[in-house]
A and B are shown apart, each in its own frame.
Chain A
Amino acid sequence: MADNPTVEFALRMGDNCLVLGQNVSAWCGHAPVLEEDIALANVALDLIGQTRMWLGLAGELEGKGRSADDLAFLRDVREFRNCLLVEQPNSDFGQTLMRQFLFDAWHHPMLKMLSGAADARVAEIAEKSVKEAAYHLDRSTDLIIRLGDGSDESHHRMQGALDRLWRYSGELMAADAIDEAVVGPGLGDIEAQYKDYTSKVFGEATLTIPEAAFMQKGGKVGLHTEALGHMLADMQFLQRSYPGAQW
């Protein structure tokens, strides 16, 4: 894999979408209001659609004949390349929305930058996804502000969610040689934009970013939290139980 950084990079992008989409989709039928059931299903659908493009590209470039489905359903935990943030469990609706916001605030500028990537196929997927990501970010921004600056209880819950999840935001920005090879020199801009944007939104939401948080990382190189294994056990059940079957 190391000989083509785009393979690894596409796995990271695809696994982020897959793991987050999988988590979000579990809300279908259980959200606090009907409109949220519908909106979350939209987000999950967009993310699963993006997964198919990124993992499709990764499989093709890898050249071992693995399809997007093979990559999604037949890899084990250590081969997953998503960041730790997206695999954090749904928990309550506040944590789900905070996780989404922390991701969207990175995902959107990242895709915008990738739309101009040197690799035309990466640029093409980014361009197809960037509008969806913009919509996700608008939506999660709006909800973070309203819930942070809502009732005492919602403020408390959102602050708790931020305290818990902020430690996973650093990994999104921690670029390595693979990111640099595919994204190019603009990576520092994404980090600056992220800091700007999140502090502006949290200010409006009356939420406080935890000081001196120790940033967790490892997902990008396959070192995950325990939650991911359980998710895969659920998600991969049919493919694992009936090897080789077509669905």
Chain B
Amino acid sequence: MYAQEVKSTGKGVLSLEEMDPVERAFQEKVNAGVKIEPKDWMPEGYRKTLIRQISQHAHSEIVGQLPEGNWITRAPTLERKAILIAKVQDEAGHGLYLYCAAETLGVSRDQMTEQLLSGKAKYSSIFNYPTLTWADIGAIGWLVDGAAIMNQVPLQRCSFGPYSRAMIRVCKEESFHQRQGYDIMMKLCAGTLDQKAMAQDALDRWWWPSLMMFGPSDAQSVHSAQSLAWKIKQDTNDELRQKFVDQTVPQAKYLGLSVPDPDLKWNEEKGGHDFGEVDWEEFFQVVSGNGPCNADRMAARRKAWSDGEWFRDALMAHAEKHSADKVAAE
């Protein structure tokens, strides 16, 4: 998802009996659904896992401004332009709430930014794909925000209080994001032949990367168990992916678009769709920096940060000068 590659401690999950009394008390609190707050005792692994997950999530929101921002100046009507600006602005706001939530765990925003810009920290693979046509803006809202909602709704119940509360605020805005995306797709599909072809092409290109957003299959994901026990995570990657496919396929049908998966079919017995295997080789390449836009995305963020340095320094310089004035006046 927005934090696809979160590694927790790697140790197996301990049973309550194996834990020392402090850790057992912590785990019992988690089990009882009591929120963990920043000042409470927590295992080091829990803190580290959360810092990684929340900061990856924040970085994804920040980098996620870029592919959609790419179309703000070219949005086709004044209303679409306003909606898209508001949407990208929401994503920046999500980044802000999430950085704040991570800061409660003892890491600063500057440190996290440094980790992103140095390439040490990851962000969601989905934002390393290019937005080539206006239909991509529709497809992102529909599919990418749709997948984000699927992931974030259960995170509202995450055991860590600040993360859970940030997710509650974020989820309120996400449904608007998905609706505006689907609305763009509906308009295109009801439009000219060119527009409909544009919509189909966007679905063809964004479908598989959207499924990759849920992260590797559970069989390959060694860290799920501990995160589930800590209630940092509520559902497995495969469960969420299945839910997403089941929700999205009828929406594609309603648009009159076809999902680019020859293996996709309804399975009556399991009450869900069977679908083809994600190209995990592509996923790992994108995550490790070889997606079509990784270099561009990082370059854009680095440029924004380094071009903005004089601005940030100047505000500090002004504040220092004037706090000195105040002290002198006293």
Contacts and interface: CB of A to CB of B under 8 A. Distances in A.
Given A41-B86, A41-B92, A247-B187, A29 B300 contact: yes
B313 A93 contact: no
A245 B80 CA distance: 14
Contacts of B96: 34-35, 38
A157 interface: yes
Nearest to B195: A245
Interface residues of B, number: 49
Interface in A20-44: 22, 25-26, 28-38, 41-42, 44
B13 interface: no
B93 A38 contact: yes
A37 B95 CA distance: 11
15 contacts: A25-B81, A28-B92, A29-B69, A29-B304, A34-B96, A37-B65, A45-B86, A146-B315, A147-B314, A150-B315, A153-B310, A154-B310, A245-B76, A246-B191, A247-B184
Given A38-B89, A44-B85, A242-B195, A29 B66 contact: yes
B223 to A, nearest CB: 29
B93 A247 contact: no
B interface, over-half SS = helix
A42 B92 CA distance: 12
B304 A146 contact: no
B29 interface: no
B93 A26 contact: no
Given A29-B88, A151-B313, A151-B314, A234 B304 contact: no
Interface string B182-219: 00100110111011000000000000000000000000
A69 interface: yes
B74 interface: yes
Contacts of A44: 85
